[in-house]
Structure 1
Amino acid sequence: MRLAIVSLTSGVLSGGCRKYLLRMVPLLLQDCRISRLHLILHEKQLPHIQQLLQCTGVHAPTFGGLRPAHKIRRIVSQLSPDVVLMTTQRWVSTGLPTVVMIRNMEPILYPLGGNPWREVLRNLVRRREALIACRKATRVIAISEFVRRFLIERWHIQPEKIGLVYHGVDHVEPAADGQLPAALCALRGSDFLLSVGSIRPYRGLEDVVQAMGLLSAQFSGLRLVVAGEVDPRMQRHYRQLQTLAERLGVADRLVWPGFLPERVLAWCYRNCRVFVMTTRVEACPNAALEAMHNGCLSVVTSADPMPEFFQQNALYYPPGDGRQLAEQLRKALLLADSQRTAMVEGLRRRAAEFTWQRTAQQTVAELEKTLQQDA
């Protein structure tokens, strides 16, 4: 099977998409059913996936500038793959069997959500592009049961056209204490909560800032680390979070280290007291899988798809309810050692069900189904 993987963006490669490509491409190349793999990327993405270019069998033509869809069609026509996999939920008509992956539910279910008006417009366009892609694709990959149900019940995509393929998680050795950035050095040996993900309104970080204000008297040394980049379009939202922290008297307890390399992030997972996920909507959250793999005691929202992933191995709170989050965090921080150990063991068992090897195998199976559907 000759496979073309297309990443159609304006040049920005999200952390989740980069991780997907870096993990999946080598595994797909190992599968005897894949005879050739073409990775079609925007030219600005190449520096982020340089290590993939060292893999034998990878061909990485690029596009850039105006009319990207036209350029992708021309590249695909020249390469003549058997099947096309679109890793971004956008449609390019190539005349070939095409699989579209739905990986980002923010523009689909949370397009407004306190975003600046230009971001709202971008999200609404992304939502329409995703709907068109799902309707026109030969097959659709949903990366959680929550996404699959949405596609069937809300967008009325035929169930037999949708495959369910979870993402995976792998082991990353944590950084040594001496390798930590300056922003985190003061946390060694101290108690801190950890939240991971880009700083955007749909992440719901105001919940955990409010909870910190409610917990400050009882847990005087507790800090909060928010590991994630601030999108340039989200500076106003970032300032609002800082203002809220100042008003609640906890600004000095919040640490904003920005984007963290994988090994430094692994150190944070290993050393935090509690992992917190306040997001309003996700598809298959990498941070949740990583937290489970590292055995992080977790307090997360009850919004889908969190219960699908954590199951009984987390404490839940209603999104938007900072007071209830504070209560669940208090409960987690005061858990007896035996209770904590039992929950951590459950988290690690659950995380073991999500491997990139399984993701690759199931993805190839979906590609084969696509070819059969098109026959």
Structure 2
Amino acid sequence: MPRLFLETDQMANLNSGLGQLCLHLGRELVRQKPASWDMTFLVSKEQVGIFGPSVKYMVASKWKRVWRNWNFDVWHCPHQGSRFFPRRRARFVYTVLDLNYLSLAQYSPDRKARKKKQYQARVNQATVITTISKYVAQDVRNQLVVPHSTPVQAIYCGVDMPETVSMATPESKPGGPFLFFIGMLQAYKNVHTMLPLLVANPDHWLVLAGPDKPEYSQQIWEQARQLGVADRLLMPGPVAESTKWWYYANCEAFLFPSLMEGFGIPVIEAMSFGKPVFSSALTSLPEVGGDEAFYFPAFDAKSVIETFQNGMKTYRQDPTMAERLRLQSQKFSWEAAAAEYWQLYQQVFDQVKL
């Protein structure tokens, strides 16, 4: 019986994007698990049993990471920063979500070099490298040395949309029509470039939700005060799932001007509500938004305002666009992702038998 190991230790923080990715991919992998496969998850002590009784569990600990002789046919690390990896020769599926760390200005060259060395060591060890977009696949080839014999395969993430969305009205509601962004608020998300939209649309508010880097938040507030729009800016910090859905359902449009994205799940979530999406045209985002998103050609105030005005005019005049946006969002599912992974696991195991 083939033995598969999934490193889902990051589910210890289920409020993180990585925790959610491990949870939803794991659930769908279990649902599709062939009867002939044995499956083991690495989890925190509190999460033993989270995927049900048909699979096995190991509790993550430093002792086990260093000393335990784990013996599996296929080992999958679903993110590039894992602390756990096979010590012995094993068929190793290594997933790279993004290499943004290597480009962020807040990290020193020495720190980036150490991180790059860690990534390269795992790439050297991998049987197969998977990524969450074609952009990341190319970035891996550009920034790391991939052995000629190691395939790199893009498998898109899914988006977990509940059948019945439970919504909760936020405590501090915007006082009029509003534009919405959600994600980690740090400089590469580029959301400060959206503030001129409040100048051009004096009845609109801007909601920027998500955990923040204080220095970047201060920059946003200072710029908003200079533009005279601070009274129509809301930054509620991290929000509950039910509040997030309320923002998506009630916003006028969704803004995602990020300069670096391995995938871009918020774009898909917004599209699932039929909302117009105004996105950066950089990195992976055109793969996600497809032909249905509106893309900023530049981020100066004139370009941002013109792109928004023309896009909203197109959206309002096209009664079919909301449905096309929903259909675009449905191209990305955990069901499809898990099916691709099971096909890959089988291919990797078949190599073991050769």
Q: Which residue of 2 aligns with 1:38?
A: 40
Moved over 4 A (4+): 7-14, 120-124
Cα distance in 1 between the residues matched to 2:33 and 2:349: 16
Cα distance in 2 between the residues matched to 1:363 and 1:220: 48
Question: Cα gap change, 1:337/1:330 in structure 2, threshold over 3 Å: closer, same or farther?
Answer: closer
* Residue 164 (str. 1) matches residue 150 (str. 2): no
Match of 1:358 among 328, 331, 336: 336
Match of 2:138 among 123, 142, 149: 149
Question: Cα gap change, 1:199/1:365 in structure 2, threshold over 3 Å: closer, same or farther?
Answer: same
Aligned pairs for 1:63-78 (under 5 A) are 63-64=60-61, 68=62, 71-75=64-68, 77-78=69-70
Q: Report the AA paired with residue 159 of structure 2.
A: V
Question: Cα gap change, 1:353/1:203 in structure 2, threshold over 3 Å: closer, same or farther?
Answer: same
Q: Which residue of 2 aligns with 1:24?
A: 25
Q: 1:194 touches 1:225 (CA, 8 Å); kept in 2?
A: yes
Q: How far off is 1:151 after superposition?
A: 2.5
TM-score by length of 1: 0.82
Q: 2:190 touches 2:258 (CA, 8 Å); kept in 1?
A: yes
Q: Which residue of 2 aligns with 1:85?
A: 76
Q: Which residue of 2 aligns with 1:207?
A: 193
Cα distance in 2 between the residues matched to 1:55 and 1:291: 31
Question: Cα gap change, 1:207/1:121 in structure 2, threshold over 3 Å: closer, same or farther?
Answer: farther
Cα distance in 2 between the residues matched to 1:14 and 1:261: 9
Q: 1:196 touches 1:227 (CA, 8 Å); kept in 2?
A: yes
Question: Cα gap change, 1:22/1:81 in structure 2, threshold over 3 Å: closer, same or farther?
Answer: same
Q: 2:253 touches 2:278 (CA, 8 Å); kept in 1?
A: yes
Cα distance in 2 between the residues matched to 1:12 and 1:128: 26
Q: 1:275 touches 1:296 (CA, 8 Å); kept in 2?
A: yes
List gaps (5 residues or longer) in structure 1. Answer: none
Cα distance in 1 between the residues matched to 2:263 and 2:123: 18
Q: Which residue of 2 aligns with 1:102?
A: 96
Q: Which residue of 2 aligns with 1:128?
A: 117
Cα distance in 1 between the residues matched to 2:111 and 2:12: 15
Q: Report the AA paired with residue 350 of structure 2.
A: Q
Question: Cα gap change, 1:139/1:336 in structure 2, threshold over 3 Å: closer, same or farther?
Answer: closer
* Residue 221 (str. 1) matches residue 185 (str. 2): no
Question: Cα gap change, 1:322/1:5 in structure 2, threshold over 3 Å: closer, same or farther?
Answer: farther
Cα distance in 1 between the residues matched to 2:66 and 2:349: 19
Q: 1:168 touches 1:359 (CA, 8 Å); kept in 2?
A: yes
Identity in percent: 20
Cα distance in 2 between the residues matched to 1:356 and 1:23: 7
Q: 2:11 touches 2:18 (CA, 8 Å); kept in 1?
A: no
Q: 2:134 touches 2:154 (CA, 8 Å); kept in 1?
A: yes
Alpha-carbon displacement from aligned partner over 1:306-346 (angstroms, at most 9, x marks no partner): 1112121111113543431122122233446332x333222
Q: How far off is 1:54 after superposition?
A: 5.7
Alpha-carbon displacement from aligned partner over 1:238-264 (angstroms, at most 9, x marks no partner): 212211111111111111111122222
Cα distance in 2 between the residues matched to 1:182 and 1:135: 50
Match of 1:245 among 206, 220, 224: 224
Cα distance in 1 between the residues matched to 2:215 and 2:129: 36
Cα distance in 2 between the residues matched to 1:331 and 1:29: 45
Aligned pairs for 1:156-195 (under 5 A) are 156-157=145-146, 158=148, 161-172=151-162, 173-176=164-167, 179-184=168-173, 186-187=174-175, 190-195=176-181
Q: How far off is 1:8 after superposition?
A: 6.1
Q: How far off is 1:193 after superposition?
A: 0.6
Q: 1:2 touches 1:83 (CA, 8 Å); kept in 2?
A: yes
Q: Report the AA paired with residue 148 of structure 1.
A: A
Alpha-carbon displacement from aligned partner over 1:180-201 (angstroms, at most 9, x marks no partner): 23123x45xx311111101111
Question: Cα gap change, 1:153/1:121 in structure 2, threshold over 3 Å: closer, same or farther?
Answer: closer
Q: 1:6 touches 1:40 (CA, 8 Å); kept in 2?
A: yes
Q: How far off is 1:166 after superposition?
A: 0.5
Q: Which residue of 2 aligns with 1:368?
A: 346
Match of 1:304 among 267, 283, 308: 283
Q: Report the AA paired with residue 219 of structure 1.
A: N
Q: Which residue of 2 aligns with 1:347?
A: 325
Structure whose residues are more often helix by fraction: 1
Aligned pairs for 1:270-349 (under 5 A) are 270-318=249-297, 320-335=299-314, 337-339=316-318, 341-349=319-327
Cα distance in 2 between the residues matched to 1:129 and 1:223: 43
Q: 1:302 touches 1:319 (CA, 8 Å); kept in 2?
A: no
Q: Report the AA paired with residue 138 of structure 1.
A: T
Q: How far off is 1:270 after superposition?
A: 1.5
Residue 18 of structure 2 aligns to a residue in which SS? helix
Q: 2:5 touches 2:75 (CA, 8 Å); kept in 1?
A: yes
